[in-house]
Amino acid sequence: MHAEHPRLLSVDGLSVRFRHHPANIVDDVSFTIGAGETLCIVGESGCGKSLTALALMGLLPKPAAQVAAGRAVFEGEDLVALDESRMSDIRGNRMAMIFQEPMTSLNPAFTVGDQIAEAVRRHRGVDRAAARGRAREMLEQARIPAAEKRLDEYPHQLSGGMRQRAMIAMALANDPALLIADEPTTALDVTIQAQVLRLIRQLQAERGTGLLMITHDLGVVAETADRVAVMYAGRIVEEGPVAAIFDDPQHPYTIGLMGSVPSLGRRSGRLETIPGLVPTPEAMPRGCRFSTRCPFAAAVCAETPALTEIAPGHRVACARAPIELRVAEDAA
Partner 1 sequence: MTGAVLETRGLEKRFVTHRPLFGTPTEVHAVNGVDLAIHEGETFAIVGESGCGKSTLARMLIGLIRPSAGQVLYQGREMSGLPQKQMRALRRDLQFIFQDPFSSLNPRMTIGRLVEEPMRAHGIGTPGERRERVGRLLARVGLRPEHADRYPHEFSGGQRQRIGIARALASGPKVLIGDEPVSALDVSIQAQVVNMLEDLKEEFGLTLVVIAHDLAVIRHMSDRVAVMYLGEVVETGPVDAVFDAPAHPYTRALMGAIPVPAPGARDSVAAILEGDVPNPTAPPPGCRFHTRCPFAVARCTRERPALADMGGGRRAACHLRDELPAFDTRAPEPGRTPGAARRFELWRTARSAGQDDRHRKTTQAEETQP
Could you list the residues that contact partner 1 (CB under 8 A)?
Answer: 44-45, 159-162, 189-195, 197-198, 216-223, 225, 242-243, 246-249, 252, 255-268, 270-280, 283, 292-293, 295-296, 323-324, 327
Phi and psi, residue 301, nearest 5°: -75, -5
Residue 99: Cβ within 10 Å count: 21
For residue 60, the minimal CB distance to partner 1 (Å) is: 23
CA dist 261 and 215 (Å) reads 14
Looking at the Cβ atoms of 12 and 248, the one nearer to partner 1 is: 248
CA dist 36 and 210 (Å) reads 4
For residue 287, the minimal CB distance to partner 1 (Å) is: 15
Looking at the Cβ atoms of 119 and 274, the one nearer to partner 1 is: 274
Looking at the Cβ atoms of 85 and 263, the one nearer to partner 1 is: 263
Is the alpha carbon torsion for 319, 322, 327, 332 positive or negative? negative
Contact between 237 and 305 (Cβ < 8 Å): no
For residue 94, the minimal CB distance to partner 1 (Å) is: 29
For residue 12, the minimal CB distance to partner 1 (Å) is: 27
For residue 204, the minimal CB distance to partner 1 (Å) is: 14
Looking at the Cβ atoms of 108 and 295, the one nearer to partner 1 is: 295
Looking at the Cβ atoms of 81 and 298, the one nearer to partner 1 is: 298
Helices (H), the chain: 49-57, 84-90, 112-124, 128-141, 147-150, 160-172, 190-207, 218-224, 242-247, 252-260, 323-331
CA dist 59 and 72 (Å) reads 14
CA dist 215 and 199 (Å) reads 17
Q: Cβ neighbours of residue 88 under 8 Å, at least 6 residues apart?
A: none
Looking at the Cβ atoms of 44 and 140, the one nearer to partner 1 is: 44
CA dist 306 and 90 (Å) reads 33
CA dist 56 and 26 (Å) reads 12
Looking at the Cβ atoms of 129 and 332, the one nearer to partner 1 is: 332
For residue 273, the minimal CB distance to partner 1 (Å) is: 5
CA dist 313 and 279 (Å) reads 29
For residue 208, the minimal CB distance to partner 1 (Å) is: 20
CA dist 202 and 114 (Å) reads 25
Looking at the Cβ atoms of 78 and 206, the one nearer to partner 1 is: 206
Contact between 295 and 289 (Cβ < 8 Å): no
For residue 198, the minimal CB distance to partner 1 (Å) is: 5
